[in-house]
């Protein structure tokens, strides 16, 4: 994959991801970052959030779905993600 500079630079991508995550409830944001970015086990993330593993997986999926829906909207409107 070739990145277009500067739009697809790592700083721009990371900033965009953080902006998307900022639209989520705090617990979904934390669950996503700890699970997907820091590669923590779901059980460990759930323990930190004081919820069960199933709810933690739901929070991570909520964040993933939000990110994917925004990416899809941008593609439909003609922008690149």
Domain ranges within the chain, ordered by starting residue = 21-76
d(CA 81, CA 71): 6
pLDDT of amino acid 70: 87
Q: What is the mean pLDDT of each run of 10 residues along the chain (81 residues)?
A: 60 87 95 96 98 98 93 74 46
Question: What pLDDT does residue 81 have?
Answer: 46
Distance between CA atoms of 50 and 12, rounded to whole angstroms? 33
Architecture per CATH, 21-76: Orthogonal Bundle (1.10)
* Residue 72 backbone dihedrals phi, psi, to 5 degrees: -65, -45
How much is the pLDDT for 4? Answer: 52
CA 51 to chain centre: 19
């Amino acid at each position: 994959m070739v990145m277009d500079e500067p739009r697809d630079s790592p700083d721009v991508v990371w900033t965009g991801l953080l902006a998307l995550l900022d639209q989520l409830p705090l617990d979904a944001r934390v669950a996503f970052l700890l699970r997907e970015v820091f590669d923590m086990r779901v059980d460990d993330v759930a323990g930190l959030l004081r919820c069960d593993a199933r709810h933690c997986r739901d929070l991570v999926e909520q964040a993933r779905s939000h990110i994917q829906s925004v990416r899809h909207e941008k593609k439909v409107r003609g922008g690149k993600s």
